[in-house]
Amino acid sequence: MERLEILKTYKIYIGGKFPRTESGRYYSPKNPKGELLGNICLSSRKDVRNAVVAARKAYGDWSERADFNRSQILYRIAEMLEGRKAQFIDELIVQGVSQKAAKQEVELTIDRLVYYAGWCDKYKQIQSSVNPVSSSHFNFSVQEPTGIVGIIADANSSLIGLVSSIAPVIAGGNTCVVLASEKLPLCAITFAEVINSSDVPGGVVNILTGKRTELISPLTTHMDVNAIFYSGKETEIIKELEESGALNLKRIHSYDEDWNKESSQNLYFITDFQELKTTWHPIENVGGASSSY
């Protein structure tokens, strides 16, 4: 007798927990063949709010961790993902990706995580500076995370776009609230499970599913969100983001990228979500002593 398969209930991911949406609503996206993907949470404004609160709560700890530690945690995500490769390939296939492309996408995603894991404790070495000011001061500039980043993930991929946005943002010490692809949401929630088992503190990554028309506005008007990572090129959305971002001068970055390209990764995706801090301190020159010591 054939065994009855256990179907997965897709939830959302807030503060390290997997609640259903507080609204109790759901939607039922279908794949290109017209098959039901599942009953997916239709997150509400309040879910956005809760996610931002969770992200803020996690921010202090995450941003102050040693960069080396964040590097290890990102690498750990890659390890976990490697272990669940088959599941992601299956999910991608269910969502309409070919077997070959699905395998490629999952592998590239893993490699991308490893790529950004390596950057965590290096980007500051490349992008910071000691500034040779004319007065008797030691002056240096170094990056600090911007804060809470709202990520509007690639609408046309389920996994690679999502991870390509999250990885540079958290590698730089930010926490984030992610709106998953509306029509391809499955991998986002499964990826949340990977994160949840990878030493990533709860709240660093929060993932919501649902309608962008409903969720973009509460996210981009939220006064405690500091930046937006938008993956896409819809001019109406970009305009809305930049307009409502003006409320608290969010840093708005829009990327029209094909994340399946090997080259769609670089240092600047990290530094776009960094603030530069310049510190001055006097240098005492005792008794006029010079280099002739």
Q: How far is the CB of 176 from another protein (least distance, A)?
A: 17
Residue 14 neighbours by CB under 8 Å, 6+ apart: 47, 50, 51, 54, 203, 206, 208
Task: Report the sign of the C-alpha dihedral through residues 126, 132, 136, 139, in that order.
Answer: negative
User: Is residue 262 involved in binding another protein (CB under 8 A)?
Assistant: no
Q: Which of 69, 99, 133, 261: binder of another protein (CB under 8 A)?
A: 133
Alpha-carbon distance of 232 to 85, in angstroms, equals 26
Which residue in 126, 233, 256, 258 binds another protein (CB under 8 A)? 126
- Examine residue 9 and tell whether it contacts another protein (CB under 8 A): no
Tell the smallest beta-carbon distance from residue 219 to another protein (Å). 16
Distance CA 205, CA 212 (A): 18
Q: Which is nearer to another protein, 35 or 258 (CB)?
A: 258
Number of residues that bind another protein (CB under 8 A): 45
Task: Look at residue 253 and give its three-state secondary structure.
Answer: strand
Which residues from 234-253 bind another protein, rule CB under 8 A? 235-236, 238-243, 245-249, 251
| Binders in 135-194 for another protein, by CB under 8 A | 135-137, 139, 141, 144, 146
> Judged by CB under 8 A, which of 24, 284, 290, 292 binds another protein?
284
Nearest by Cα to 43 from 165, 191, 235, 179: 179
Taking Cα atoms as reference points, which of 269, 219, 259 lies closest to residue 241? 219
DSSP one-letter string for 131-185: ---SSSEEEEEEEEE-SEEEEE--TT-SSHHHHHHHHHHHHTT-EEEEE--SSS-
Q: How many CA atoms lie within 13 A of 264 on its CB side?
A: 19
Region of 23-31, 48-56, 185-193, 262-270 interacting with another protein (CB under 8 A): 262-270
Q: How far is the CB of 182 from another protein (least distance, A)?
A: 21
Answer for which of 32, 282, 291, 293 binds another protein (CB under 8 A) is 282
**Contact call for residues 33 and 200 (beta carbons, < 8 A):** no
Least distance between another protein and beta carbon 169 (Å): 16
CB of 125 to another protein, least distance (A): 11
Locate 242 and state its tokens.
């930049």
Residues forming the site for another protein (CB under 8 A): 126, 129, 131-137, 139, 141, 144, 146, 226, 235-236, 238-243, 245-249, 251, 266-268, 275-288
